[in-house]
Protein backbone atom coordinates (compact mmCIF):
# COMPACT_ATOMS: atom_id res chain seq x y z
CA UNK A 1 0.00 0.00 0.00
CA UNK A 2 1.24 3.42 -0.87
CA UNK A 3 0.09 5.93 1.77
CA UNK A 4 0.09 9.66 1.06
CA UNK A 5 -0.89 12.26 3.67
CA UNK A 6 -2.05 15.78 2.90
CA UNK A 7 -2.45 18.71 5.28
CA UNK A 8 -6.19 19.13 4.73
CA UNK A 9 -9.21 17.17 3.59
CA UNK A 10 -9.62 19.34 0.53
CA UNK A 11 -6.02 18.74 -0.55
CA UNK A 12 -6.48 15.01 -0.06
CA UNK A 13 -9.62 15.11 -2.21
CA UNK A 14 -7.82 17.12 -4.90
CA UNK A 15 -5.04 14.52 -4.92
CA UNK A 16 -7.61 11.76 -5.48
CA UNK A 17 -9.19 13.78 -8.30
CA UNK A 18 -5.74 14.29 -9.86
CA UNK A 19 -5.15 10.53 -9.97
CA UNK A 20 -8.52 9.98 -11.64
CA UNK A 21 -7.85 12.76 -14.16
CA UNK A 22 -4.40 11.44 -14.95
CA UNK A 23 -5.74 7.94 -15.61
CA UNK A 24 -8.66 9.34 -17.62
CA UNK A 25 -6.37 11.34 -19.88
CA UNK A 26 -4.13 8.30 -20.49
CA UNK A 27 -7.10 6.03 -20.96
CA UNK A 28 -10.25 7.90 -22.12
CA UNK A 29 -12.41 4.77 -21.98
CA UNK A 30 -11.65 4.36 -18.29
CA UNK A 31 -13.95 2.06 -16.28
CA UNK A 32 -14.16 3.74 -12.91
CA UNK A 33 -15.75 2.62 -9.63
CA UNK A 34 -17.12 5.48 -7.51
CA UNK A 35 -18.30 6.10 -3.94
CA UNK A 36 -20.86 8.47 -2.50
CA UNK A 37 -20.69 9.97 1.00
CA UNK A 38 -19.30 13.16 2.46
CA UNK A 39 -15.63 12.45 1.90
CA UNK A 40 -15.63 12.48 -1.93
CA UNK A 41 -17.73 15.66 -2.33
CA UNK A 42 -14.63 17.88 -2.79
CA UNK A 43 -13.15 15.28 -5.15
CA UNK A 44 -16.24 15.52 -7.36
CA UNK A 45 -16.01 19.31 -7.19
CA UNK A 46 -12.43 19.09 -8.47
CA UNK A 47 -13.48 16.73 -11.29
CA UNK A 48 -16.27 19.09 -12.37
CA UNK A 49 -13.86 22.05 -12.25
CA UNK A 50 -11.39 20.15 -14.43
CA UNK A 51 -14.14 19.33 -16.93
CA UNK A 52 -15.29 22.95 -17.09
CA UNK A 53 -11.70 24.06 -17.62
CA UNK A 54 -11.38 21.66 -20.56
CA UNK A 55 -8.99 19.40 -18.67
CA UNK A 56 -11.23 16.31 -18.55
CA UNK A 57 -13.32 14.42 -21.07
CA UNK A 58 -15.71 11.79 -19.71
CA UNK A 59 -17.39 11.09 -23.06
CA UNK A 60 -15.89 7.61 -23.38
CA UNK A 61 -15.68 6.78 -19.66
CA UNK A 62 -17.88 4.27 -17.86
CA UNK A 63 -18.64 4.48 -14.15
CA UNK A 64 -20.03 1.99 -11.67
CA UNK A 65 -21.13 3.19 -8.27
CA UNK A 66 -20.42 1.03 -5.29
CA UNK A 67 -23.87 0.99 -3.82
CA UNK A 68 -27.42 2.24 -3.53
CA UNK A 69 -30.00 2.34 -0.76
CA UNK A 70 -32.61 -0.37 -1.08
CA UNK A 71 -35.94 0.90 -2.43
CA UNK A 72 -34.31 4.07 -3.78
CA UNK A 73 -33.33 5.11 -7.28
CA UNK A 74 -33.59 7.75 -9.96
CA UNK A 75 -35.71 10.72 -8.92
CA UNK A 76 -35.66 9.82 -5.21
CA UNK A 77 -34.23 12.51 -3.02
CA UNK A 78 -31.71 10.77 -0.78
CA UNK A 79 -30.83 8.10 -3.33
CA UNK A 80 -27.20 7.62 -4.25
CA UNK A 81 -28.24 8.04 -7.90
CA UNK A 82 -29.51 11.55 -7.03
CA UNK A 83 -26.28 12.26 -5.13
CA UNK A 84 -24.23 11.27 -8.19
CA UNK A 85 -26.35 13.40 -10.50
CA UNK A 86 -26.01 16.38 -8.18
CA UNK A 87 -22.26 16.01 -7.67
CA UNK A 88 -20.99 14.66 -10.97
CA UNK A 89 -23.21 13.18 -13.67
CA UNK A 90 -25.24 16.35 -14.38
CA UNK A 91 -22.09 18.47 -14.65
CA UNK A 92 -19.77 16.52 -16.94
CA UNK A 93 -20.09 14.92 -20.37
CA UNK A 94 -20.52 11.35 -19.16
CA UNK A 95 -23.07 9.35 -21.15
CA UNK A 96 -26.09 8.46 -19.01
CA UNK A 97 -25.94 4.95 -20.55
CA UNK A 98 -22.51 4.45 -19.06
CA UNK A 99 -23.07 5.98 -15.61
CA UNK A 100 -24.18 2.96 -13.61
CA UNK A 101 -25.65 2.86 -10.11
CA UNK A 102 -27.37 -0.28 -8.79
CA UNK A 103 -31.13 0.23 -9.05
CA UNK A 104 -32.45 0.00 -5.50
CA UNK A 105 -36.01 0.27 -6.85
CA UNK A 106 -35.80 -2.74 -9.11
CA UNK A 107 -38.88 -4.95 -8.68
CA UNK A 108 -36.53 -7.94 -8.59
CA UNK A 109 -33.38 -7.20 -6.61
CA UNK A 110 -31.92 -10.67 -7.27
CA UNK A 111 -32.08 -9.98 -10.96
CA UNK A 112 -30.66 -6.48 -10.43
CA UNK A 113 -27.56 -7.62 -8.49
CA UNK A 114 -26.79 -10.27 -11.12
CA UNK A 115 -27.33 -7.73 -13.91
CA UNK A 116 -24.95 -5.27 -12.21
CA UNK A 117 -22.16 -7.84 -12.01
CA UNK A 118 -22.71 -8.78 -15.65
CA UNK A 119 -22.41 -5.13 -16.67
CA UNK A 120 -19.14 -4.76 -14.77
CA UNK A 121 -17.87 -7.93 -16.36
CA UNK A 122 -18.92 -6.82 -19.86
CA UNK A 123 -17.09 -3.54 -19.33
CA UNK A 124 -13.96 -5.60 -18.68
CA UNK A 125 -13.89 -5.03 -14.91
CA UNK A 126 -12.85 -1.82 -13.18
CA UNK A 127 -9.65 -0.07 -14.22
CA UNK A 128 -9.74 2.03 -11.09
CA UNK A 129 -11.98 2.40 -8.07
CA UNK A 130 -12.19 5.21 -5.55
CA UNK A 131 -13.31 4.07 -2.10
CA UNK A 132 -14.27 5.81 1.10
CA UNK A 133 -14.02 4.15 4.50
CA UNK A 134 -16.95 3.61 6.85
CA UNK A 135 -16.32 4.23 10.55
CA UNK A 136 -16.92 0.53 11.06
CA UNK A 137 -14.42 -0.41 8.35
CA UNK A 138 -16.93 -1.00 5.58
CA UNK A 139 -16.19 -0.31 1.92
CA UNK A 140 -19.18 0.15 -0.32
CA UNK A 141 -21.87 -1.44 1.82
CA UNK A 142 -19.69 -4.46 2.58
CA UNK A 143 -20.34 -4.37 6.30
CA UNK A 144 -18.16 -6.13 8.88
CA UNK A 145 -19.27 -9.76 9.18
CA UNK A 146 -17.98 -13.28 9.60
CA UNK A 147 -18.21 -13.65 5.82
CA UNK A 148 -18.09 -11.15 2.98
CA UNK A 149 -19.79 -11.47 -0.40
CA UNK A 150 -17.86 -11.61 -3.66
CA UNK A 151 -20.75 -10.48 -5.85
CA UNK A 152 -23.14 -7.56 -5.87
CA UNK A 153 -25.68 -8.32 -3.17
CA UNK A 154 -28.41 -7.04 -0.89
CA UNK A 155 -27.16 -6.24 2.57
CA UNK A 156 -28.67 -5.26 5.93
CA UNK A 157 -27.17 -1.92 6.96
CA UNK A 158 -25.77 -1.57 10.45
CA UNK A 159 -27.39 1.13 12.62
CA UNK A 160 -24.20 3.23 12.48
CA UNK A 161 -24.25 3.11 8.67
CA UNK A 162 -27.89 4.24 8.66
CA UNK A 163 -26.99 7.06 11.05
CA UNK A 164 -24.13 8.12 8.78
CA UNK A 165 -26.69 8.43 5.96
CA UNK A 166 -29.25 10.36 8.02
CA UNK A 167 -28.11 13.64 6.45
CA UNK A 168 -29.77 12.48 3.20
CA UNK A 169 -33.08 12.07 5.08
CA UNK A 170 -33.38 15.31 7.04
CA UNK A 171 -31.32 13.91 9.91
CA UNK A 172 -33.82 11.08 10.62
CA UNK A 173 -31.78 7.89 10.67
CA UNK A 174 -34.84 5.66 10.97
CA UNK A 175 -35.97 7.03 7.60
CA UNK A 176 -32.80 5.60 6.01
CA UNK A 177 -33.59 2.28 4.32
CA UNK A 178 -32.53 -0.71 6.41
CA UNK A 179 -30.93 -2.42 3.40
CA UNK A 180 -28.67 -1.53 0.54
CA UNK A 181 -27.39 -3.05 -2.68
CA UNK A 182 -23.62 -3.21 -2.79
CA UNK A 183 -20.90 -4.19 -5.18
CA UNK A 184 -19.12 -7.18 -3.68
CA UNK A 185 -15.51 -7.65 -2.68
CA UNK A 186 -14.80 -9.47 -5.97
CA UNK A 187 -15.26 -6.42 -8.21
CA UNK A 188 -13.57 -4.14 -5.66
CA UNK A 189 -10.47 -6.29 -5.24
CA UNK A 190 -10.52 -7.03 -8.98
CA UNK A 191 -10.08 -3.32 -9.78
CA UNK A 192 -6.69 -2.78 -11.33
CA UNK A 193 -5.98 0.23 -9.09
CA UNK A 194 -7.65 1.15 -5.80
CA UNK A 195 -7.68 4.65 -4.32
CA UNK A 196 -8.82 4.78 -0.71
CA UNK A 197 -9.67 8.35 0.30
CA UNK A 198 -10.18 8.96 4.02
CA UNK A 199 -10.35 12.24 5.90
CA UNK A 200 -11.20 13.39 9.41
CA UNK A 201 -10.12 12.45 12.92
CA UNK A 202 -13.21 10.28 13.44
CA UNK A 203 -11.73 7.76 10.97
CA UNK A 204 -8.18 7.68 12.41
CA UNK A 205 -8.70 4.56 14.50
CA UNK A 206 -10.29 2.67 11.63
CA UNK A 207 -7.55 3.80 9.24
CA UNK A 208 -5.03 2.25 11.61
CA UNK A 209 -6.98 -1.02 11.82
CA UNK A 210 -7.56 -1.19 8.07
CA UNK A 211 -3.98 -0.42 7.08
CA UNK A 212 -1.94 -1.92 9.88
CA UNK A 213 -4.20 -4.42 11.65
CA UNK A 214 -4.82 -8.04 10.76
CA UNK A 215 -6.68 -8.83 7.54
CA UNK A 216 -10.16 -9.75 8.68
CA UNK A 217 -13.71 -9.75 7.32
CA UNK A 218 -14.61 -7.82 10.49
CA UNK A 219 -12.72 -4.88 8.97
CA UNK A 220 -13.61 -5.23 5.29
CA UNK A 221 -11.16 -2.48 4.26
CA UNK A 222 -8.29 -4.55 5.72
CA UNK A 223 -8.64 -6.89 2.72
CA UNK A 224 -7.15 -4.09 0.63
CA UNK A 225 -3.79 -4.92 2.22
CA UNK A 226 -3.72 -7.93 -0.11
CA UNK A 227 -4.29 -5.84 -3.26
CA UNK A 228 -1.17 -5.11 -5.33
CA UNK A 229 -1.99 -1.50 -6.29
CA UNK A 230 -3.61 0.58 -3.56
CA UNK A 231 -3.00 4.27 -3.02
CA UNK A 232 -4.30 5.48 0.33
CA UNK A 233 -4.88 9.23 0.44
CA UNK A 234 -5.37 10.69 3.91
CA UNK A 235 -5.56 14.06 5.54
CA UNK A 236 -3.46 14.66 8.63
CA UNK A 237 -6.36 14.02 10.99
CA UNK A 238 -7.18 10.60 9.51
CA UNK A 239 -3.47 9.71 9.40
CA UNK A 240 -2.74 10.65 13.02
CA UNK A 241 -2.46 7.06 14.30
CA UNK A 242 -0.58 5.58 11.33
CA UNK A 243 1.74 8.50 10.68
CA UNK A 244 4.62 6.99 12.59
CA UNK A 245 4.07 3.39 11.60
CA UNK A 246 5.87 1.60 8.84
CA UNK A 247 3.15 0.10 6.63
C1 LIG B 1 -20.78 4.96 -0.23
C2 LIG B 1 -19.69 4.07 0.19
C3 LIG B 1 -19.35 4.03 1.65
C4 LIG B 1 -18.69 5.33 2.09
C5 LIG B 1 -18.34 5.30 3.58
C6 LIG B 1 -17.76 6.62 4.04
O7 LIG B 1 -20.98 4.84 -1.62
O8 LIG B 1 -19.12 3.38 -0.61
O9 LIG B 1 -18.53 2.93 1.90
O10 LIG B 1 -17.52 5.53 1.34
O11 LIG B 1 -19.48 5.03 4.32
O12 LIG B 1 -18.74 7.61 3.94
P13 LIG B 1 -18.41 9.13 4.30
O14 LIG B 1 -17.51 9.62 3.23
O15 LIG B 1 -19.75 9.82 4.26
O16 LIG B 1 -17.79 9.14 5.64
d(CA 107, CA 104): 9
92 in any annotated domain: yes
143 flagged as catalytic:
yes
240 inside domain: no
Q: What CA–CA distances, in Å, run from 21 to 43, 136, 144, 190?
A: 11, 29, 32, 21
Residue 243 confidence (pLDDT):
74
Structure confidence at residue 246 (pLDDT):
59
For residue 168, the CA-to-ligand 1 centroid distance in Å is: 13
Asked if residue 246 is part of any domain, the answer here is no
Determine the pLDDT at residue 150.
98
User: Taking residues 22-38, what's their average pLDDT?
Assistant: 98
CA-165 nearest atom, ligand 1 = 15
What's the domain range around 113? 27-37+51-191+217-229
Residue 45 domain-assigned?
no
- pLDDT tier at 244 (50, 70, 90 boundaries)? low
pTM of the model: 0.97
Q: What is the pLDDT of residues 169-186, one digit of tens each?
A: 999 999 999 999 999 999
Known catalytic residue: 127?
no
Mean pLDDT of 227-246: 91
Ligand 1 centroid to Cα of residue 180, in Å, is 13
- Choosing from 85, 136, 151, 179, which is the catalytic residue? 136
21 within a domain of the structure (yes/no): no
206 is a domain residue = no
pLDDT band at 48 (very low <50, low <70, confident <90, very high): very high
- Quick: pLDDT tens for 114-167: 999 999 999 999 999 999 999 999 999 999 999 999 999 999 999 999 999 999
- Ligand 1 binding pocket (C-beta < 6 A) is 35-39, 66-67, 132-134, 138-140, 164
User: What's the CA gap between 197 and 131, in Å, rounded?
Assistant: 6
**Is 150 part of a structural domain of the chain?**
yes
Share of the chain above pLDDT 90, in %: 98
Residue 136 catalytic? yes
**At 112, which CATH number?**
3.40.50.1360
**For residue 42, is it within any domain?**
no
Atom of ligand 1 nearest to the CA of 200: 16
Judge whether 27 and 21 are in contact, CB under 8 Å.
Answer: no
* CA 155 to ligand 1 center in whole angstroms: 15
Count of domains for the chain? 1
Question: What string of H, E and C letters represents the secondary structure of the chain?
Answer: CEEEEECCHHHHHHHHHHHHHHHHHHCCCCEEEECCCCCCHHHHHHHHHHHHCCCCCCCCCEEEECEEECCCCCCCCCCHHHHHHHHCHHHCCCCHHHEECCCCCCCCHHHHHHHHHHHHHHCCCCCEEEECCCCCCCECCECCCCCCCCCCEEEECCHHHHHHCHHHHCCCHHHCCCEEEECCHHHHHHCCEEEEEECCHHHHHHHHHHHHCCCECCEHHHHHHHCCCEEEEEECCCCCCCCCCCC
**Active-site residue flag, 108:** no
Amino acid sequence: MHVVTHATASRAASAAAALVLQRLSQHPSLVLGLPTGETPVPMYRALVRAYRAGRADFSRATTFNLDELFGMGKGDEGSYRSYMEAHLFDHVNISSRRAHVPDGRSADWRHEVARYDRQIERAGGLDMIVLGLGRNGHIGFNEPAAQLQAHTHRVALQPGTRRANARLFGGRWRAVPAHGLSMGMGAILGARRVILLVTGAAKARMVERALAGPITTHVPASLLQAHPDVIVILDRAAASLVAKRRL
